């Protein structure tokens, strides 16, 4: 199977993708009020601070919703690529993919854990699979 395309990265997201290369799932956190936010952005929506840092997350959460996009087909992703919204245990949401499970076996609120898939240009993409224990 071909590697996934490299992610399209904005300046605020650089630390997220560098952490993923190390096998860490991180979220941006406001340095003044501590609120986590995902995806990364320049300003805190709660206190309007522009000071931020990135915190390593557990990589565990639950499935909120999921779908298989059918059109237009994207060859690099093949058939049956499940796109899911994951509620991470730390309280932020990410859009990702589900692996190691069939679409019909996915259930709302099922426990999942992150792992990382290789992508072009040596990037790693965080994706999720059913949680072990
Ligand atoms: Zn804040």
- Distance, in Å, from the CA atom of 42 to the CA atom of 91, rounded to the nearest integer, reads 19
Domain assignment of residue 17, given as a range: 9-56
Q: Is the pLDDT of residue 75 over 90?
A: no
Span from the CA of 54 to the centroid of ligand 1 (angstroms): 13
- Detail the DSSP E strand segments found in the chain: 26-30, 36-37, 52-56, 60-67, 82-88, 93-98, 111-118, 124-130
Span from the CA of 43 to the centroid of ligand 1 (angstroms): 8
Whether residues 103 and 122 fall in one domain: yes
Span from the CA of 32 to the centroid of ligand 1 (angstroms): 5
Span from the CA of 133 to the centroid of ligand 1 (angstroms): 34
Residue at 3 is within a domain? no
Q: Which two tokens stand for residue 133?
A: 């224990």
Q: What is the CA radius of gyration of the chain?
A: 15
Span from the CA of 45 to the centroid of ligand 1 (angstroms): 7
What pLDDT is attached to residue 85?
98
Q: Which residue has the tokens 């991180």?
A: 26
Whether residues 101 and 129 fall in one domain: yes
Span from the CA of 122 to the centroid of ligand 1 (angstroms): 33
CATH classification at residue 62? 2.40.50
Which tens digit of pLDDT belongs to each residue from 9-37?
999 999 999 999 999 999 999 999 999 99
Count: domains in the chain: 2
Binned at pLDDT 50, 70 and 90, residue 1 comes out as low
Which tens digit of pLDDT belongs to each residue from 78-123?
788 999 999 999 999 999 999 999 999 999 999 999 999 999 999 9
């Amino acid at each position: 199977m071909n590697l996934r395309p490299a992610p399209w990265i904005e300046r605020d997201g650089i630390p997220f993708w560098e952490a993923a290369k190390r096998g860490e799932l991180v979220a941006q956190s406001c340095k003044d009020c501590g609120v986590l936010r995902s995806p990364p952005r320049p300003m805190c929506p709660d206190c309007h601070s522009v000071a931020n840092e990135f915190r390593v997350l557990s990589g565990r959460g639950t499935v909120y919703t999921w779908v298989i996009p059918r059109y237009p087909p994207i060859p690099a992703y093949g058939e049956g690529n499940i796109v899911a919204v994951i509620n991470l245990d730390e309280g932020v949401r990410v859009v990702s993919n589900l692996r190691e499970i069939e679409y019909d076996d996915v259930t709302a609120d099922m426990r999942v854990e992150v792992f990382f898939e290789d992508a072009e240009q040596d990037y790693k993409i965080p994706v999720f699979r059913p949680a072990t224990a």
